[in-house]
Amino acid sequence: MKTEINRDRVTIGRDKLEYEGYKSTVPATLSTVKVHLNSIISTLLARYMTMDIKYFFYGTLKIAVNGKVYFEIRKGMPCTPSLWKHSTLPISFTLVVDDLGVKYVRKKSAQHLIDTLRKQYEISTD
């Protein structure tokens, strides 16, 4: 169960950002997710879990002042691929905004991903 069920979401127009690079990310498409789910069904002993990374994309700092809420975007993740595969471990995942759909064969591999992400982010798993 998620520890925080009410979370702020912010949409910021590209014209309001002072950044010259690409200002968007590509989430996993429905086709990508379907291929990933089919690979889980087709892989002997494969398992599936979901992960949520809190404030993954922008490491946002939120400050309330006099009834107004201000946000400071501290980091970004533009052009992030939507399907990831580890180079040596039997693990892969799709990424949509801050949610991961993870295919793994060994619990040790899944725990490696969890431990690695927890070094940088607050996460929850299902």
Of the pLDDT bands very low, low, confident and very high (cuts 50, 70, 90), residue 106 is: very high
In order of 1, 42, 55, 70, the CA distances from 65 in angstroms are 31, 53, 21, 8
Question: What is the residue whose two structure tokens read 């399907």?
Answer: 83
CB atoms within 10 A of CB 80: 15
Taking only the tens place, the pLDDT of each residue in 13-65 is 556 656 566 555 566 788 888 999 999 999 999 999 999 887 665 555 556 66
pLDDT at 121: 81
Contact at 8 Å (CB) between 95 and 53?
no
Name which residue leads in pLDDT, 107 or 96. Answer: 107
Contact at 8 Å (CB) between 123 and 53?
yes
Q: Map out the domains of the chain as residue ranges.
A: 23-125
Q: Which pair of tokens denotes residue 114? A: 């969890």
| Report field, pTM of the whole predicted structure over 0.75 | no
Taking only the tens place, the pLDDT of each residue in 52-90 is 887 665 555 556 667 766 665 555 555 556 788 888 999
Q: Which pair of tokens denotes residue 6? A: 């009410």
Question: Which amino acid, one-letter code, is at 103?
Answer: K
